[in-house]
């Protein structure tokens, strides 16, 4: 996903085009995926934490 953003956003995506909007869609998807993975990691680490 990040490679797509870097490849396409070389300044060649005209504003308002389908390519421009696809960059936002890919970036939003990447953000949501990262957020979910972080929340899942936090849940797992709290569940298996050992208290002394």
List, for residues 1-50, the tens digit of each pLDDT value. 777 777 777 767 777 787 888 888 989 999 999 999 999 999 999 988 87
CA distance 30 to 28: 5
Specify whether the CB–CB gap between 13 and 19 falls below 8 A.
yes
CA distance 19 to 14: 8
pLDDT at 11: 67
Cα(22)–Cα(12) distance, integer angstroms = 13
Phi-psi region at 16: left, alpha or beta (left = phi > 0; alpha = psi -120 to 50):
left
Domain coordinates of the chain in residue numbers?
20-52
pTM metric for this prediction: 0.71
d(CA 47, CA 22): 37
Structure tokens at 1: 């996903």
């Amino acid at each position: 996903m990040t490679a797509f953003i870097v490849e396409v956003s070389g300044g060649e995506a005209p504003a308002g085009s389908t390519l421009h909007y696809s960059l936002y869609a890919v970036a939003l998807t990447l953000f949501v995926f990262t957020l979910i993975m972080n929340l899942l990691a936090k849940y797992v680490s709290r569940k298996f934490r050992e208290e002394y």
